[in-house]
Amino acid sequence: MFIPTLVLWLLSASPEAPVVAPVPVEAAPPVMPADVPALKQAVRVVLRLTLDTGGEVSRVEVRESGGEPFDRAAMAAATHWRFEPARRGDVPLEVQVDVPVMFEPPALPEAAAVATAPAASEEASVATVPAAPAPTDAKPPGFSTTVRGRSVAPPPVAVGDFHITVGQLADVPRNSATDLLLLAPGVMLANHGGEGHAETVYLRGFDAGEGKDVEMRLDGVPLNEVSHAHGHGYADTYFIIPELVKSLRVTEGPYDPSQGDFGVAGTVEYQLGLERRGITASASYGSFASRRLSLVWGPPEATDATFVGVLLRQGHGFGPNRAHANAGIMAQTELRLGPETRLRLFGASYGARYSSAGVVRETDVVDARLPCAGDADSQFFCLYDPHQGGANQRHIASVEWVSRLERGGRFVQQAYAVSRQMRSRENFTGFLQDTPPVGEAQRGDNTEQSYQGTTVGLRGRYTPGLVWAGQPQPVELGYVARFDNVHTRARRLRDKGGAPYATVFDNQVRTTNLGAYLSLRAAPLPWLTLRGGVRVDTFLFAVEDLNRPDADRQGARIPEESVEAYGFFASPRATAEVRLTPRLTWLSSAGLGARSSDAAGLSDAEFAPYARVTSGETGLGWCWGDEGHDATVEARGAVFATRVSQDLVFSETTGRNQPIGPSQRLGAFGNVRLQWKQRLDVQASLAWARATLPVPGASSWRLWDGTVLPYIPQVLGRVDAAWRGTATVVQQQVGWSVALGHSAIGPRPLPLDRYSEPVFLFDVAARARWSAVELGLSVENLLDARWRESEFNYVSNFRGPEAPASLLATRHFSAGAPRTVRGTLTVYLDLQEDTP
Amino acid sequence: MTSPLRHTRRAFTLLLGGALAAGVNACGLSGTGGRSITFRVGLRTALAPGEDTVGVFTTDTGWRVELTTARLVLGPLYLFEKASPLQPQALLRRLGDVLLPTAHAHEGDFFSGGRVLGEWDREVVFDLLADGGQARVLGRSPGIAGVARSLSLLLRPPSRALGVEGDVMEGHSLLLAGTATREAVRVPFRLALDFPPPVELQRVDFVPILADLDEEGFFVLEVQPHRWFTGTRFDRLPVPAEGSPLEVGPETQVHRALSVNVRRFDAFTGAWEPQEG
């Protein structure tokens, strides 16, 4: 990169100098400061470096300021630079050099670039250009460095901490914003409840359910719902409009002190933004009468943080009882309150209704006993209970205040409110759970789970503009305060008529979560950076159990009862980053995390137990960019181990997760992403994990031993690739793109020492754009594979209320979607680019 | 219909799957525990001790019974891993249990036999006299390899699921007809038993067995009609008119005895025949 350039230039620029100039040996590029406004013009900082006789930077001064944050970013980089010292003859000298550092706006897309190209990459790129030598004592030449781009993500806290810019990979077919999670290695998604029901996330060897083990956030607003009727931590991201997702931060493992409740397998944060300004309207129609209409807009005069999005989806579904319809709006405005302060106002509303086919018994499918046509396909997509489905409503409001402090620090405050309502009906066991009144038959196991309530909260972080031991901003303080007031209930519904006949549980839950964290960073050696911190969380649970008996041994009583519990947990986390070479970094991380208790399982005055997760990871990160930064490659790989003190697995009898005791995981992953000229973007990942129930009494280090947890895929592979280009058709320039998404799900462990068949899914898409009009075609599940999206093993009886029940656990599954073809017409108005 | 595309897809999947599975499956088993099997399930009528004809036996009260009709609605049948609490135990252990009783946590069910290792999950009308003591194979059933130590089955009125097969039962759970003879007294009889819900009154629990279930074996449920008639007092029945069978009603001792005995743990037994070779 720029070091060889610099060396050559230094050598050529000072052939006659009496002093041999210092030669940079390590000079990592400065990083664009976070949270600065999008640059409209270049910012220049000139640093004066004092280089001692050992070639170390002993002093850094700002000769010419470009503004506090840019000064600090430049200084932070310069303190790590190392040189071959200047020499007169063989005698090393202490010298001073002036180094201009340029911060430039993002490079504009090439004129010939396809019109649908995204804005400039988020990744900082660095270029070097010669600059005039600065006069100093030894009169050595200087050098300059330029940082082009926007604010880049903070450095990863672990190898498994991914800041994923969606960018060009948005061309790969995806059904929803949830599918963007597949951009992180080791993620598999499954849905047993229908289009509108949250996806089950498999990550890092965890069956994270619909969110019990994955902390989900949307620009700081928590999405996990405490004590949800369907499962503690239920997080539905289906409402997020994919066109508005700018990037994802997926932190696999609990290694960042800012990770909170549910961050057991990791944390996912959706970061919103609309890079393409103007109006984009898109309409799709495809298989199974699926229709999709989206409209997003953002004024070109505003930043990408100001946008509005509307999304309508509807369809009959890929089999009986799979119809769905939903609508959502998301809007955000960023107000600038002076040069150093901005205010973001965000709101979202969403409503959805869906039907669900639920699960079917494998034996019934094989024997063609389901109430559909006898052919294999009809049986595969058939169902038992047509009364399954649900409805969702969600409303979010958020205000975020960001101040840039005088000395380069930041002060962020956010307040949010979430209103939520959900009702879901699922039948996993048919006619098995009911104890009918004498003389009556089983009434059916259809379970209605309802959840409604509000969440309000505050969160913030403070990064003082400190420089300590040469480290700018080495400290961050953060806090969360969250209050949930929810009503969560499960009832059994009669098979005939659907009237509720029994209450499984009925709780009014009020939970207060207060948490705070402190993180520190230090670089005791030029090649070593240490990060660490501690997080403290407290929970107060107040539960009104509304489903108590109305009489006991002592007589009549009020059928309600109150339960209160309190819990506290402290979780230290630390990372060591060793820079082996300028491109290769070795990261090792360890941390403790926690999942709060499900309020439904608490006892009065209990010190609420937590599920504790202990995790460690070590691995390498490598990045490369060519001279002109037309191409960049980033690769990562790591091994990890995790132990959870109290895990949960799905229970078919209650239709939600139930405790099973401790579990452990051992795994590894690798990931590589190649980007070339905003034309080719390829990301591939491969992950392996083994999840077991530890042998009772065995050492915690025996991570391999124990019974394997079924259904959790051990090998996952994923490829996302998109290629954009231009062509001339009838003397008109036409932009085009093709994209491929491929998921490989290795054989999943099944009960009784079996493996499932592996699953290979291919999704492809192609688009062509002329002027403001674009046509697209996407095919999901190109090979029309018959695959099982989720799978279970338990006892059920779907033959009817009077039929003899099977008590032998057998396999049940929900069918995955077959080949789905969809055509899309998109119109771009008020474009930044008028030609493709 | 199987299209060429489907063949191509399958071949492709197998190719990729083979490569992916090779790494994972290197160790063979998934490690989740247990082993699934498939075995045959059948029914057989047991011969009474010392008899060589099905449906002919002498009761402990001295009556020689010869059945001419014996039909039963039976099923489902469950094979449990836990032993029957009624299973005879060693004298020393029984003594130990008396001296040092063990505390048992309530498992929530009337009888929790642990995991079900095998089952025949349908009902069937079984004619006890039709096969002359040979086993009638009902079909194949999935199961889990392991030792089953007790079984449980249901006796109930024929459901609609049986269709015309259940018509012969005329809505009853058990039909018996025959002749009971002692010395010069001959009592032709007909009898019908009904086992309506609740299920607790339909269940035959605690039947001790010892079946090491494994692939392709044969489990035979043996019905022991000679035990059903233990303690029956045909002499207490009114003397029937010459030639016509006596309808044995629920108010009679014979009916009550049969009603209890048919649901006793020793009214049935089971046998396991491993796959030959």
What pLDDT, in 10s, does the model give residues B45-60?
999 999 999 999 999 9
Q: Two tokens at A338?
A: 């002076």
The mean pLDDT value for A484-510 works out to 94
Cβ contacts of residue A556 below 8 Å, gap of 6+? Answer: A550
- The more confidently predicted of residues B85 and B211 is B211
Residue A116 confidence class, pLDDT cut points 50, 70, 90? very low
Euclidean distance between CA atoms A386 and A383, whole angstroms: 7
Lowest-confidence segment of A141-155, A362-376, A764-778, B23-37 by average pLDDT? A141-155
Question: B48 vs chain A: nearest CA distance in angstroms?
Answer: 30
With a cut of 70, say whether residue A294 has pLDDT above it. Answer: yes
Cβ contacts of residue A620 below 8 Å, gap of 6+? Answer: A159, A580, A584, A585, A586, A587, A636, A637, A638
| Of residues A652, A604, A654, the one with CA closest to residue A504 | A654
The mean pLDDT value for A620-638 works out to 85
The mean pLDDT value for B173-190 works out to 93
Euclidean distance between CA atoms A47 and A97, whole angstroms: 8
With a cut of 80, say whether residue A24 has pLDDT above it. Answer: no
Structure-token match 């009337």, residue found: B110
pLDDT in tens, A430-456: 998 888 887 788 899 999 999 999 999
pLDDT at A673: 94
Which residue of chain B is at minimal alpha-carbon distance from A717? Answer: B20
Contacts of A749 in chain B (CB under 8 A): 30-32
pLDDT at A771: 87
Among A80-84, B25-29, B136-140, the range with the most confident prediction by mean pLDDT is B136-140
Measured CA distances, A188 to A118, A208, A684 (Å) = 27, 10, 14
Euclidean distance between CA atoms A602 and A610, whole angstroms: 11
Question: Is B35–A760 a contact, with Cβ atoms under 8 angstroms apart?
Answer: no
Cβ contacts of residue B96 below 8 Å, gap of 6+? Answer: none
Question: Is B35–A752 a contact, with Cβ atoms under 8 angstroms apart?
Answer: yes
pLDDT at B108: 37
Contacts of A760 in chain B (CB under 8 A): 12-13, 16-17
Q: Considering chain A, what is the average pLDDT of its residues?
A: 85
With a cut of 70, say whether residue A71 has pLDDT above it. Answer: yes
Contacts of A430 in chain B (CB under 8 A): none
| Of residues A492, A427, A435, the one with CA closest to residue A796 | A427
For residues A463 and A410, is the Cβ–Cβ distance under 8 A? yes
Residue B180 confidence class, pLDDT cut points 50, 70, 90? very high
pLDDT in tens, A194-206: 888 899 999 999 9
pLDDT in tens, A558-569: 999 998 888 888
For residues A85 and A93, is the Cβ–Cβ distance under 8 A? yes
Question: Is A753–B142 a contact, with Cβ atoms under 8 angstroms apart?
Answer: no
Question: Is B78–A750 a contact, with Cβ atoms under 8 angstroms apart?
Answer: no
First to last CA, chain B: 39
Q: Two tokens at B108?
A: 């929530």
Instruction: Give the percent of chain A with pLDDT over 90.
Output: 56
Structure-token match 């045959």, residue found: B40
Residue among A709, A757, A804 whose CB faces B121 most closely:
A804
Question: A650 vs chain B: nearest CA distance in angstroms?
Answer: 16
Beta strands B146-155 and B64-80, pairing class: antiparallel
Question: Is A758–B20 a contact, with Cβ atoms under 8 angstroms apart?
Answer: yes
The mean pLDDT value for A271-276 works out to 92
- The more confidently predicted of residues A62 and A182 is A182
pLDDT in tens, B147-164: 999 999 999 899 887 888
| Of residues A644, A670, A672, the one with CA closest to residue A659 | A644
Which residue of chain B is at minimal alpha-carbon distance from A787? Answer: B13
Question: Is B161–A747 a contact, with Cβ atoms under 8 angstroms apart?
Answer: no
pLDDT in tens, A775-818: 999 999 999 999 999 888 888 989 888 777 888 888 899 999 99
With a cut of 80, say whether residue A67 has pLDDT above it. Answer: no
Residue type, A41: Q
pLDDT in tens, B86-139: 666 555 665 666 666 555 443 334 446 688 999 998 889 999 999 888 999 999
Contacts of A807 in chain B (CB under 8 A): 76, 78, 116, 119, 121
Question: Is B160–A802 a contact, with Cβ atoms under 8 angstroms apart?
Answer: yes
Euclidean distance between CA atoms A574 and A256, whole angstroms: 8
Question: A403 vs chain B: nearest CA distance in angstroms?
Answer: 51
Q: Two tokens at A715?
A: 């090998």
Question: B218 vs chain A: nearest CA distance in angstroms?
Answer: 18
pLDDT at A339: 77
The mean pLDDT value for A567-579 works out to 93
pLDDT at A10: 41
- Kindly list the structural domains of chain A, giving each domain's residue range(s) and its CATH number in brackets, ordered by start: 2-148 (3.30.2420.10), 161-298+305-829 (2.40.170.20)
Contacts of B13 in chain A (CB under 8 A): 757-758, 760, 783, 785
Residue among A708, A757, A808 whose CB faces B32 most closely:
A708
pLDDT in tens, A583-601: 899 999 999 998 888 877 7
Q: Kindly report the pTM of this predicted structure.
A: 0.78
With a cut of 60, say whether residue A409 has pLDDT above it. Answer: yes
CB pairs under 8 A between A and B: 118
For an interface test with A, give the residue of B1, B15, B20, B73 to mutate (most A CBs within 10 A): B20
Sign (positive or negative) of CA dihedral B131, B135, B140, B144: positive
Euclidean distance between CA atoms B274 and A550, whole angstroms: 55
pLDDT in tens, A242-271: 999 999 999 999 999 999 999 999 999 999
The helix/strand/coil state of A544 is strand
Question: Is A784–B24 a contact, with Cβ atoms under 8 angstroms apart?
Answer: no
Residue A273 confidence class, pLDDT cut points 50, 70, 90? very high
Q: Burial level of A74, CB count in 10 A (0-12/13-18/19+)? A: buried
Which residue of chain A is at minimal alpha-carbon distance from B162? Answer: A803
The mean pLDDT value for A635-644 works out to 95
Residue among A441, A749, A758 whose CB faces B30 most closely:
A749
B198-229 per-residue burial string, b: 16 or more CB within 10 A, e: under 16: eeeebbbbbbbbebebbeebbbbbbbbbbbbb
The mean pLDDT value for A613-627 works out to 89
pLDDT at A140: 40
Contacts of B204 in chain A (CB under 8 A): none
Question: Chain A: which residues have CB within 8 Å of chain B?
Answer: 363, 438-439, 441, 692, 707-710, 714-715, 717, 744, 746-747, 749-755, 757-758, 760, 783-785, 795, 799-800, 802-810
With a cut of 70, say whether residue A605 has pLDDT above it. Answer: no
Q: If you ran DSSP here, which 8-state letter would residue A120 be given? A: S
Cβ contacts of residue A719 below 8 Å, gap of 6+? Answer: A682, A683, A684, A685, A740, A741, A742
Question: Is B33–A755 a contact, with Cβ atoms under 8 angstroms apart?
Answer: no
Question: Is B34–A753 a contact, with Cβ atoms under 8 angstroms apart?
Answer: yes
pLDDT at A834: 43
Question: Chain B: which residues have CB within 8 Å of chain A?
Answer: 5, 9, 12-13, 16-17, 20-21, 23-25, 29-36, 75-76, 78, 116-119, 121-123, 142-144, 154, 156, 159-161, 197-198
Question: Is B75–A438 a contact, with Cβ atoms under 8 angstroms apart?
Answer: no
